[in-house]
Amino acid sequence: MKIFLTAMVIASFFPELSLGQKIFTHADTLRGSITPERAWWDVQRYDVSVTPDFNLKIIIGENKMTYRVTKDNHETRMQIDLQVPLAIDSAILNNGDHLTYSNEENVWYLKMPDQKKGNTYSVQLFYSGKVHEAIRPPLDGGWIWAKDSLGRPWMTVACQGLGASVWYPCKDHQSDEPDKGASLTMTVPDTLTAVANGRIQFTKNNGDGTATTKWAVVNSISNYCLIPYIGKYVNFSEVYKGETGNLTLNYWVLNYNQAKAKNYMPEQVHKMLTAFEYWFGPYPFYEDGYQLIDASHSGMEHQSAVSYGNGYKFGYRGKDPSGFGWGLKFDFIIIHESGHEWFGNNLTTKDLADMWVHEGFTNYSETLFTEYHFGKKAGNEYNFGIRPGIGNKTTIIPAYNVNAQGSGDMYNKGGNMLHAIRHSMDNDVLFRNILRGLNKDFYHQTVTSKQVEQYISRYAGFNYQKVFNQYLRNLEIPSFEYYFSNDGRTVNYRYQNCIDGFNLPLSLNNEKAKVRIVPSKKWQHKKLKMDEKPLFEKEFIAFNYYIKVKPVNKK
């Protein structure tokens, strides 16, 4: 049951697991790389407007995209991403000029006039059509046309991986976020409420059975995190006294969920913020606030507007991912998806291939949350308990520049790798400072895995590069082999089934003794004091490090 449940949790957030090895196409390169048509401009802001038709399953919209020219541009093209069956109807520069354009699959090329390096311009992109529908969200992405339990329209989008271009035209590459924020304006039936990221700007009744509502964020935001929520919502709010001041918390729930939501959501959100601000530093989006919003799917990490669909149950849909019982002490979706505000939304990877930075750290946030509220033993058990969900079928980091996501092992294996690195440091103050430092020094930035790896090694004072290579770019689970001398006063040890140079330190300690060794593929030995031999206990080592532990007989 534990193995099945852990795999089920991962599959819910990582649908590509069952797709097998992908053959990359020209379209993948257009989407996943910085093409010449993308390289000369930098997105500054998105102002998206959308009108959905629930019955026809079509949308009509526009995106005023503000951008800065970063390279001299002489009669070149601009690549805009918009996935079929949606189509661009017209493109108009801020000076009123209508642009000509052509398209190639999901890419639209605008013919641009000469624009000077360093200047800022805008283009209005009008589009419409039948939008790609998500059938089993969030396992597959797209627009979600759902109904609540009373049969009323309930709409949203889930598009991580698939990309925001599934529902609005944009520069659909994680490396380029709108530096000066974004807005989302929705025109919907006036019997429904429209919610989105950040803070509400206005609501206007149009007198024709529709109402228009605008929301906006002032911080940069990933394309896939800008999301509409449309349904029979009601709101309640509060102010949380956070690490850097007052943080506005808003809860948007279907009206029939209001009573139970008030008794359920705030407690979980407060516990999440207390633990994560301790480990990771201040919530990264105080200016935009924090919102938790009922959704028809399990949940996603939409920045400052986290979607929630876990049925108001602890665990993952009432099940424990760890098998030790600790997963039933909290709501998995609220904790996990909110953890992405730090890793995923604050730190965002430039290439989809490095998504372990989002998912590995956020998976580990579950362990840190458990430890913060229930103790270190509980955290260790939670982390160990999710290990059966690791498949080791494909590597965590796949090919770059083709919009490829790696193995779903980025979750549990990524979390176990971080747990092992933390134990190898044997210094929780240092480890916490590294986590907080990542969020401070890369605040609201896009990063690469290499940057994160090098940061951890630099501030830990130890080169973990081979450790990262082992777990992120290879499939073997290292084996730690050891045996004692006949008198038990010397331990001999080495690593096997690993890459050359794998050097994960092992820090072993209890109330009486402490030993730190740095094994390699070559046999090494260490003289032991009287109280140190019990530290080399197979279960103890395996529990804290994602390695196979093999006591061997050596004559």
pLDDT at residue 21 in the model: 58
Mean pLDDT of the chain: 95
Return the bridge partners of 6, or none: none
Assess whether pLDDT exceeds 90 at residue 3. no
- At 93-129, the pLDDT tens digits run 999 999 999 999 899 999 999 999 999 999 999 999 9
pLDDT number for residue 6: 52
Which residues neighbour 147 within 8 Å (Cβ) at sequence distance 6 or greater? 153, 154
Within this chain, do residues 83 and 213 fall inside the same structural domain, yes or no?
A: yes
- pLDDT tens string 132-161: 999 888 878 999 999 999 999 999 999 999
Q: Which residues contact 208 (CB under 8 A, 6 or more apart)?
A: none
The answer as to whether 180 is a domain residue is: yes
pLDDT value at position 9?
A: 55
The predicted-structure confidence for 389-418, as pLDDT tens digits, reads as follows 999 999 999 999 999 999 999 999 999 999
Q: Read out DSSP for 507-530? A: EEE-SS-EEEE---SS-EEEE--T
**Residue 97 sits in the same domain as residue 209:** yes
Considering the domain architecture, whether residues 51 and 194 belong to the same structural domain is answered as: yes
Mind listing the pLDDT tens digit for each residue in 21-31?
578 999 999 99
* Span 416-452, pLDDT tens digits: 999 999 999 999 999 999 999 999 999 999 999 999 9
CATH number at 71 reads 2.60.40.1730
Per-residue pLDDT band for 361 (boundaries 50, 70, 90) equals: very high
Residue 176 has pLDDT above 60, yes or no: yes
Q: How far apart are CA 370 and CA 378, in angstroms?
A: 6
> Model confidence at 18, in pLDDT bands (50, 70, 90)?
very low
Residue 2 has a pLDDT of 41
Q: What is the DSSP code string of 321-347?
A: SSSSSGGGGSBHHHHHHHHTTTBTTTE
Last residue of a domain, one of 406, 441, 473: 473
Residue 73's H or E segment, with its range, is none
What's the confidence (pLDDT) of residue 1? Answer: 36
Angle at 339 between CA 65 and CA 175, to 5 degrees: 30
* Residue 273 domain flag: no
Average pLDDT of span 7-28: 60
Per-residue pLDDT band at 16 (split at 50, 70, 90)? very low
Q: Give pLDDT, residue 325.
A: 97
Of 473, 491, 509, which one is at a domain's C-terminal end? Answer: 473
Note down the domain range covering 403: 2-22+325-473
* Alpha-carbon span 437 to 459, nearest angstrom: 9
- Write the CA distances from 34 to 30, 41, 113, 390, integer angstroms: 8, 11, 21, 32
Query: Are 412 and 389 in contact, with CB atoms under 8 Å apart?
Result: yes
> 363: domain CATH number?
1.10.390.10
Mean pLDDT in residue range 305-325: 97
Specify whether 169 is located in the same domain as 206: yes
Whether the pLDDT of residue 73 is over 90: the answer is no
* Mean per-residue pLDDT, 296-308: 97
Q: Around 511, how many Cα atoms within 13 Å sit in the side-chain half-sphere?
A: 0
Residue 159 to residue 280: CA distance in whole angstroms: 26
Number of domains, the chain: 3
